[in-house]
Amino acid sequence: MEIELRDEVREYPKGTTVLEIAESISPNLARMAVCGKVGEDLIDLKTKLVKDCKLTIITNRDPEYKMVLRHSTAHCLAQAVKAIYPTAKLSIGPATEEGFYYDFDFKTPITQEDLPKIEAEMKRIIKADFEITRKEITREKALKLMDENEESYKVELIDAIPEGEKITMYSQGDFFDICRGPHLRSTGMIKAFKLTKIAGAYWRGDEKNKMLTRIYGVAFDKASEMEEYFKMVEEAEKRDHRKLGKELDLFFLSDYAPGMPFFMPKGQVVINELINFWREEHKKAGYVEITTPIALNRELWEKSGHWDHYKKNMYTFKVEDDTFAVKPMNCPGGMLFYKERVHSYREFPLRVAELGKVHRHEASGTLHGLFRVRCFTQDDAHIFMTRDQIEDEIANIISLVDKVYKVFGLTYKLELSTMPEDHIGTIKDWQWAESSLERALTRIGKDYVINKGDGAFYGPKIDIHIKDAIGRTWQCGTIQLDMQLPKRFELEYTASDGSRQEPIMLHRVIFGSIERFFGIITENFAGAFPLWLSPVQAVVMNVSEKSEAYAVSVAKKLEEAGIRTETDIRAEKIGYKIRSAQMQKIPYMIIIGENEAANRTVSIRKRGNLEAKDVKIEELINEMKQKIKTREIN
């Protein structure tokens, strides 16, 4: 059989294992090898290859290594739990983006205080350096083995495996588990780990099933990496937008409207500034803005395809004898806008933007502050064009993305998501759409990765993942090429030869969700927003009653200049007032004492700076207005 490696193609006998291939390349590679990768699938080193394929040997230098390490650590956790609590039943234990977890059914509940005891047993298992072995077994043997050991959840999992699919068992010491793998070669290869918390989790995620105990943990190749991780977690907790939202009076959530945020006056200021900036840049970029209804009837959602593909996430209600749905997306309304009159190729690209409020039925357990909500505003746009305008238009969108994110000091990465199983439209259309996006990304010279099978049901997309101040990534913007909705809504335009043609359409968002972006930048700036975004841009405070009148007059001048200003003339010591302003993360603290009142000056102290300096009020106003105009970052 022919095996395509990174730099060459080699022939091997059928049944050669991944490890044997690694050994044939170099002893060093064999020593460093963790697993293999065929297509998108990770496979164990001892897996026998039986046909031609493209093989990648994964080492600890590859990103896939982390998933293998975490999965093996999850098995180590399960072995430790079974050693300490023999009656505990196993369910599932996968690796995750953050670490790993394993779900157990304990006869006697455990608490957070029990985690150190489990960690100690895990360290013993790691020190024992048990070899991790893989073995293919029959369905009957797997069922018999798990039934004999009273592992009822494992029996249910085995029953769900399709007939004909291989069943593999991994063993380490006296512990075994039914698992696809792959895993490390031995438990001793686990270098650094920590159990972080316990939580409840319904079996198979169904609230009708029994609540199990989920133990979370993290694992790293080096202790130094784990130390850095926990520093980041500590910093993230300080920046948590839910905590800052409460402390800074930005927003709140109520049990009367789960997942639907309420914005306080200060939070609304930030929202308004984001929207003003958005409108300003979209006007420059040639967009027109529309508004479409928040609820439309069932016939429209059936026409768009959402009724068949998204109904479970939609809120529906009756009006007389008609069924309506609150919109989860703005797209169908945009289609009706386009159909309202005849269009010509001379109008293209036609860029139509909408700040549309949408509602989606998200499970209560997934709701998380402003990051996962049921009600949010999408900064949507639908761009109608001819086929030969696609590459230019994607370049224009990426240029707008660059311009917008730069204002917040954010960098980003691109991900091209391809056809999912649950899609509409022909394979031929999808192939053309995917290749069009690939050509556009290549042309503008942007690096990207492929996210296979994660496109929207109506078309492939380019997802934009931003990186924040402490290294976390967030998916915000997206560009989606859609040839399906124009077909379904029978959209047309008059071509240059007078014929009627179907337009190509791009969906795109920059912020993604105004609310989610608000939460992200709150954490990115740790609540210390740049001057232009700050709910309160300056606070004027007097030292004593003698300087009160002048302090009030200074505040009035700032307000007349368009600067958002508060006045603190409470009968408190100036140190207390300064600390209060610092807690509210106000950019400019303007201190007025008797000297300032006499000299008609102001003493300014900027956020994060212990030094104060005296300036004329006109000089201060000019400085602040310039920073606001240029949207300067701190």
CATH number for region 538-629: 3.40.50.800
**Predicted pLDDT at 249:** 96
The pLDDT assigned to 425 comes to 80
Q: Compare 309 and 419 and report the one with higher pLDDT.
A: 419
Question: DSSP assignment of 289-300, as one string?
Answer: E----SEEEHHH
Give the model confidence (pLDDT) of 442-499 as tens digits. Answer: 888 888 998 888 888 778 999 999 988 888 888 899 999 887 889 999 999 999 999 9
What average pLDDT does range 317-343 have in this prediction?
94
Q: Give CA separation, 107 vs 85, 104, 214, 246, 278, in Å.
A: 9, 10, 14, 39, 55
Q: What is the pLDDT of residue 382?
A: 96
Q: What is the pLDDT of residue 171?
A: 96
Higher pLDDT, 600 or 458: 600
Average predicted confidence (pLDDT) for the chain: 93
Residues with active-site annotation: 331, 360, 378, 380, 382, 461, 507
Q: What is the mean pLDDT of residues 263-284?
A: 97
Mean pLDDT of 374-393: 94
On the question of pLDDT at 93 being above 90, the answer is yes
Judge whether residue 310 has pLDDT over 90: no
Q: What is the pLDDT of residue 457?
A: 77
What is the per-residue DSSP string for 195-248? EEEEEEEEGGG-TTSPEEEEEEEEEESSHHHHHHHHHHHHHHHHH-HHHHHHHT
pLDDT average, residue stretch 609-626:
92
Number of H helices and number of E strands within the chain? 20, 34
Q: Are strands 411-417 and 473-482 parallel, antiparallel or unpaired?
A: unpaired
- Mean pLDDT over 189-216 rounds to 92
pLDDT band at 294 (very low <50, low <70, confident <90, very high): very high
- Partnered with residue 380 across adjacent β-strands are 354, 509
Give pLDDT, residue 520: 94
- Please state, in angstroms and rounded to a whole number, the distance separating the CA atoms of residues 514 and 517: 5
Domain 2-62: CATH superfamily, name plus number: Beta-grasp domain (3.10.20.30)
Q: Per-domain residue ranges for the chain?
A: 2-62, 65-236, 258-294+328-524, 538-629
- 581 pLDDT higher than 80: yes
DSSP state letter for 563: -
The CATH-assigned architecture of domain 65-236 is 2-Layer Sandwich (3.30)
Please, are residues 202 and 209 in contact by the beta-carbon 8 Å criterion?
yes
pLDDT digits (tens, 9 = 90+) for 539-568: 999 999 999 999 999 999 999 999 999 999
Stretch 122-143: mean pLDDT: 94
**Percent of the chain beyond pLDDT 70?**
100
pLDDT at 462: 93
Residue 409 phi/psi, 5° resolution? 70, 25
Give the gyration radius of the chain's Cα atoms.
30
Using a pLDDT cut of 90, give the percent of the chain over it: 79
The matching CATH number, chosen from 3.30.497.10, 1.10.490.10, 3.30.930.10, 3.40.50.300, for 258-294+328-524 is: 3.30.930.10
Using the predicted structure, report yes or no on whether residue 72 has a pLDDT greater than 90. Answer: yes
Domain pair 2-62 / 65-236, same fold: no
Q: What are the tens digits of pLDDT across the range 204-247?
A: 888 889 999 999 999 999 999 999 999 988 998 999 999 999 99
CB 277 within 8 A of CB 630: no
98-128: pLDDT as tens digits: 899 999 999 999 999 999 999 999 999 999 9
What region, left, alpha or beta, does residue 587 occupy, with left being phi > 0 and alpha being psi -120 to 50 degrees? Answer: alpha
